[in-house]
Structure 1
Amino acid sequence: MAAHLSSGRVNLTALREAGRRELREFLDKCAGSKAIVWDEYLTGPFGLIAQYSLLKEHEVEKMFTLKPGRLPPADVKNIIFFVRPKLELMDIITDNVLREDRGRSPQRDFHILFVPRRSLLCEQWLKEQGVLGSFIHREQYSLDLIPFDGDLLSMESESAFKECYLESDQTSLYHAAKGLMTLQALYGTIPQIFGKGDCARHVANMMIRMKREFPGSQNSIFPVFDTLLLLDRNVDLLTPLATQLTYEGLIDEIYGIQNTYVKLPPEKFAPKKQGEGGKDLPTEPKKLQLNSAEELYAEIRDKNFNAVGSVLSKKAKIISAAFEERHHAKTVGEIKQFVSQLPHMQAARSSLANHTSIAELIKDITTSEDFFDNLTVEQEFMSGIDTDKVNNYIEDCIAQKHPLIKILRLVCLQSVCNSGLKQKVLDHYKREILQTYGYEHILTLNNLEKAGLLKPQTSGRNNYPTIRKTLRLWMDDVNEQREVALTCCSPRALSHRTPTTSRTCTAATPR
């Protein structure tokens, strides 16, 4: 089930097993049948650690989503809340517990598992509401670094950037440091740490302090990692604003990848007979898991989308030729060999069909005039063209009320590429956005300014052209079929000009 975690240069199965072991130990403390009430945000990350079969082995019979009101009926002895330490969730839990029928027999026991840390503030809130004493076990589950793939760990902390740069809340940095300490406990102490940015320095300092406070955390395991590189997201604000152009990146741009899963329009995946008849077409989105366990996806995920078609065509010919081999199988041994290869061949054909359908869906978007116009504007900004004046395409998009996130990405991209916008240009964009999308977005624009994504130009000097030339971020002549660095538009992303021993290390501040 997790073979893809052991296929990289580092076997990440041990990290997953450590998480499963901690979960089993907590479940075993709650003797008897169980129902889990999930903070919906946690179901995806937990699904990468433990499937339902593991929960069932430990007497979990029911699972519900956390919501206000009375808990659904369940003939179980234990009710366990799996939640993040957030006050708004404590209000819902309080409502659930207070609505519990205390007259029922037998009574149910309540437990709460905070992920990733217990919160004194949350426990105090539960105490003030009069329900803290209802929980027999109040513990924490350290879900810091989640193994997504053989070379990818993620904290799945989508609000980390906002917390660090808008709210001055460094809790996510503490979780990053704890996660890295757990990693070192399993894979040996990392001898070298390099970093760039204030947040990187804070994480490194916290790790050093944790080593001093817990000398027992030092181990004699030979280090698997020789270097840890910590980068603040704000070292490169440009990359997450630009459109991703790899196969995986475009899937994420258009449909969104959540916890390695993507939901796609079902029409392209209907059997041909269904599609031709126009009847009984599936209505539920097609849900696919995307990771390197799938051989074809591992090959094309990081390729520029222009290179994907030729790979799929080549694979189709190879698979067709493999199936044709059945006509040449004459002897019993040859037939037996073909039959033994059949499951792998069928899986490869199914994988090819899925990714051909996905590529068709993406192509419908990427060949549109609007996608081309958007990409052209991004490339102009990143090559330093017309970054100091109001852009006509952005104005047209606002007038046509395109999605606000699209407008904000373009305006912020222009700001970053110009070391800020001229005051009159910035004021014009603000006025147009507020008049079109509503004055409640004054706060949105203010937050973007606080985060450094949108700002007035305070000096006449634009540093971006110098950075672009010095670091060679722009490539005029490039073979898109082979250039893996082409992850967004045409320039090389600044944050991708780093050591590439693995695709991604840790996503402490995700995109």
Structure 2
Amino acid sequence: MFDGGAKTIVWDEGLIGPVSLIAPYNLLKEHEVNQMFSLSEGSISSAASRKIIFLTRALPKMMDSIAEHVHSEEQKNHRREYQIIFVPRKTTLCETRLKNRGVYGNVKGAIHEWACDFFPLENDVISMEQPLAFKELLIDEDPTCIYSAAQGLSTLQDVFGPIGKVSCQGKAAKHVFDLLKRIKLEKGAPEKMTGIDHLVILDRSIDLLSPVATQLTYEGLIDELVGINHTKITLPSEKFNNGEDPGKKTIILNSSEELFSDIRDKNFSAVGDALRKRAKTIAAEYEARHGQTMQQMRQFVARLPQMNLIKQSLAVHTTIAEMIKEITDSFPFMDSLLVEQEFMNGIDTDKIHPFIEDQIGQQVDIIKVLRLICIQSITNSGLKQKVLDYYKKEIIHVYGFEHILSLSHLEKAGLIRVQQSARPFTVLRKTLRLVVQDGSESNPTDMSYVHSVYAPLTTRLVQHLIYKPGGWRAIQDVLNSLPGPTVTEEPFCDIQTLDSSKVVVVFFVGGCTMAEISALRFLVQQEEAPVELVVATTAIINGNSFTRNFMEVLNLK
């Protein structure tokens, strides 16, 4: 793939973050990559190297960008050698697009694949980093993510051992499973050995409420209000009073940081107490150095670097928590959260809601308005025709008719729809105990703490499957009310379990939220049966990013 001579890499912007998770910079340095450009930049003519490598996802629009770059260089009579590296794999559609744009001859024989199906975000979380997968599947009717998911799970099996049994719920989940079986037949059955005891595949369509509901865990709120991009957030540096020049400060959020690992999954209302307790502990340790013996002083000095790291971490997370608290204590946030929780409890879901009317009249962010309408529609199993028509009319009148496509996409995805005679969400709420009124946020005994009152439907299904007698067979009537087919614990391969713990992989087709991950971690910690749980997903999503994916402004120019 890489031969001698200096080279220039031209990145697809959507890959910069994911690829940074596995840090291929040593590889780039080793192969004399001397410059890097973005595909969105107009020209690469300043590059001194003659060899250009395009690192890109397999998207037709990226092929258009590559073609524009190649044609631009040809018009300037710049002689270049081109290579394309597709992540994770090339597609016939992209090759056809290159041919139609007249540049396939420039790269023929120099097209490669970097089969990186999953990117590790945490010890227990891996992601395909395809945030548009759900929208592409439902709106664009592009099944590429199904193939990518099946290939990724097959690779996971090759690396960590065979999958013992599979359960799945939803149409997309069933498609992934069927394709995974076909890949297994082509490859042949893996050798009998230890591996993954149980693979659970969940279609995002079976639970549309969790991604649009406001997350209330510490990490979930950071993602909601700031946005976590590939385990990193960016904040104004002046917030930290560290003497840096005005600008942005990048903070990495993962479990390698002890304090963040301790508070990430807590409800935000419990984070303040946790930070205060940690601050008192650190202060007491510093104070204890007075009057120590020489041996005790040596032990203190040995611990000092770790204590300083915790102190710095404490300062960072105190600042972040204060920033979040300013927002969560505000009337707009509290009022909106109250309406959300009323909808979850089935209160005022069947009428035009005055709060949503006011929000539209005040022209607040359209994403916030659409999220509330989606929550009302989902919790009411659809809206009455007159209610839905009223909301659509008001949005088009206030925000502009160009949002008509966005509303159409939300309807097609099932986030807003006309109410039918059946009311499945009411049944689900009672049968699966999705809403818990008497739960504790500071000392939770139920996973509903991640939304204060609401337990994600997806994680409740995992709880019933793994820990409840009879598994999904005991709640077959409930599963029948969910969209798509059900596969219940179908044997996949023969495996040997050498220890008492079981390895369960929960794969979300269409993305999952930080709150759902926290709920699954909580579930494993609370239950007595030893289970090692890994979350795999097409992407990490939050209410804003999930809703924004369906936004498409109609352009009549």
TM over 0.5: yes
Query: Which of 266, 283, 286 is the matching residue for 1:320?
Result: 283
Q: Residues 168, 91 of structure 1: CA spacing in aligned structure 2 closer, same or farther, 3 A cutoff?
A: closer
Query: Which of 21, 30, 36 is the matching residue for 1:48?
Result: 21
Q: Does the aligned pair in 1 maintain the 2:150–2:179 contact within 8 Å? A: yes
Is 1:257 aligned to residue 228 of structure 2? yes
Partners of 1:503 and 1:364 in 2: how far apart? 35
Amino acid at match of 1:197: G
Q: Does the aligned pair in 1 maintain the 2:6–2:32 contact within 8 Å? A: yes
Q: Residues 59, 466 of structure 1: CA spacing in aligned structure 2 closer, same or farther, 3 A cutoff?
A: same
Query: Which of 389, 394, 397 is the matching residue for 1:435?
Result: 397
Q: Does the aligned pair in 2 maintain the 1:161–1:509 contact within 8 Å? A: no
Q: Does the aligned pair in 2 maintain the 1:304–1:481 contact within 8 Å? A: yes
Q: Residues 341, 395 of structure 1: CA spacing in aligned structure 2 closer, same or farther, 3 A cutoff?
A: same
Is 1:140 aligned to residue 140 of structure 2? no
Query: Which of 84, 97, 101 is the matching residue for 1:112?
Result: 84
Query: Which of 215, 218, 227 is the matching residue for 2:198?
Result: 227
Query: Which of 257, 269, 274 is the matching residue for 1:294?
Result: 257
Q: Does the aligned pair in 1 maintain the 2:436–2:448 contact within 8 Å? A: no
Q: Aligned residue for 2:344? A: 382
Q: Aligned residue for 1:190? A: 163
Q: Residues 504, 295 of structure 1: CA spacing in aligned structure 2 closer, same or farther, 3 A cutoff?
A: same
Q: Residues 474, 128 of structure 1: CA spacing in aligned structure 2 closer, same or farther, 3 A cutoff?
A: closer
Q: Aligned residue for 2:95? A: 123
2:19 partner SS: helix
Partners of 1:449 and 1:502 in 2: how far apart? 38
**Range that drifts further, 205-214 or 57-66:** 57-66
Is 1:307 aligned to residue 265 of structure 2? no
Partners of 2:417 and 2:76 in 1: how far apart? 60
Amino acid at match of 1:38: W
Q: CA deviation at 1:118?
A: 0.8
Partners of 2:406 and 2:75 in 1: how far apart? 46
Q: Residues 372, 122 of structure 1: CA spacing in aligned structure 2 closer, same or farther, 3 A cutoff?
A: same
| Equivalent runs, 1:151-190 vs 2, <5 Å | 151-190=124-163
Q: CA deviation at 1:286?
A: 2.1
Amino acid at match of 1:475: V
Is 1:284 aligned to residue 247 of structure 2? yes
2:448 partner SS: coil
Query: Which of 355, 358, 364 is the matching residue for 2:320?
Result: 358
**Range that drifts further, 262-271 or 225-234:** 262-271
2:136 partner SS: helix
Is 1:506 aligned to residue 498 of structure 2? no
Q: Residues 229, 36 of structure 1: CA spacing in aligned structure 2 closer, same or farther, 3 A cutoff?
A: same
Q: CA deviation at 1:132?
A: 2.1
Partners of 2:534 and 2:221 in 1: how far apart? 17
Amino acid at match of 1:462: R
Q: CA deviation at 1:509?
A: 6.1
Partners of 1:112 and 1:456 in 2: how far apart? 46
Q: Aligned residue for 2:488? A: none
Say which structure, 1 or 2, has more relative contact order (CA 8 Å, 6+ apart): 2
Q: Does the aligned pair in 2 maintain the 1:49–1:146 contact within 8 Å? A: yes
Partners of 2:259 and 2:358 in 1: how far apart? 40
Once the two structures are superposed, residues 61-111 of structure 1 have per-residue CA deviations (whole angstroms, 9 ceiling, x without a partner) of 221111354314233353110011222222221222233369989x54211
Q: CA deviation at 1:329?
A: 4.2
Is 1:456 aligned to residue 418 of structure 2? yes
Is 1:474 aligned to residue 440 of structure 2? no
Identity over aligned pairs, percent: 46
2:73 partner SS: coil
Q: CA deviation at 1:468?
A: 1.1
Amino acid at match of 2:16: T
Q: Does the aligned pair in 2 maintain the 1:243–1:489 contact within 8 Å? A: no
Partners of 1:437 and 1:166 in 2: how far apart? 22
Q: CA deviation at 1:510?
A: 4.8
TM-score calculated relative to the size of structure 2: 0.80
Q: Does the aligned pair in 2 maintain the 1:145–1:179 contact within 8 Å? A: yes
Once the two structures are superposed, residues 12-71 of structure 1 have per-residue CA deviations (whole angstroms, 9 ceiling, x without a partner) of xxxxxxxxxxxxxx4xx3333222110011010000012534422332222111135431
Q: Aligned residue for 2:174? A: 201
1:231 partner SS: strand
Q: Aligned residue for 1:211? A: 184
Q: CA deviation at 1:131?
A: 2.4
Amino acid at match of 2:440: N
Partners of 1:220 and 1:254 in 2: how far apart? 47
Q: Aligned residue for 2:213? A: 242
TM-score calculated relative to the size of structure 1: 0.87
Partners of 1:328 and 1:90 in 2: how far apart? 69
Q: Residues 431, 104 of structure 1: CA spacing in aligned structure 2 closer, same or farther, 3 A cutoff?
A: closer
Q: Residues 327, 104 of structure 1: CA spacing in aligned structure 2 closer, same or farther, 3 A cutoff?
A: farther
Q: Does the aligned pair in 2 maintain the 1:68–1:96 contact within 8 Å? A: no
Q: Does the aligned pair in 2 maintain the 1:242–1:489 contact within 8 Å? A: no
Residue correspondences, number: 471
Amino acid at match of 1:131: V
Partners of 2:72 and 2:436 in 1: how far apart? 63
2:300 partner SS: helix
Partners of 2:3 and 2:427 in 1: how far apart? 61
| Equivalent runs, 1:25-64 vs 2, <5 Å | 26=1, 29-64=2-37
Partners of 2:41 and 2:240 in 1: how far apart? 37
Q: Aligned residue for 1:423? A: 385
Q: CA deviation at 1:188?
A: 0.4
2:82 partner SS: strand
Q: Residues 419, 41 of structure 1: CA spacing in aligned structure 2 closer, same or farther, 3 A cutoff?
A: same
Partners of 2:264 and 2:227 in 1: how far apart? 14
Q: Residues 472, 93 of structure 1: CA spacing in aligned structure 2 closer, same or farther, 3 A cutoff?
A: same
Amino acid at match of 1:506: A
Q: Does the aligned pair in 2 maintain the 1:114–1:141 contact within 8 Å? A: yes
Partners of 1:486 and 1:99 in 2: how far apart? 55
1:229 partner SS: strand
Partners of 2:292 and 2:29 in 1: how far apart? 45
| Equivalent runs, 1:384-423 vs 2, <5 Å | 384-423=346-385
Amino acid at match of 1:178: Q
Q: CA deviation at 1:156?
A: 1.3
Q: CA deviation at 1:164?
A: 1.7
**Range that drifts further, 41-50 or 258-267:** 258-267
5+ long unaligned stretches in structure 1: 1-25, 275-280
Amino acid at match of 1:253: E
Once the two structures are superposed, residues 384-411 of structure 1 have per-residue CA deviations (whole angstroms, 9 ceiling, x without a partner) of 1111111111111101111111111100
1:50 partner SS: coil
2:450 partner SS: coil
Partners of 1:248 and 1:509 in 2: how far apart? 16
Q: Does the aligned pair in 2 maintain the 1:245–1:488 contact within 8 Å? A: yes
Q: Aligned residue for 1:18? A: none
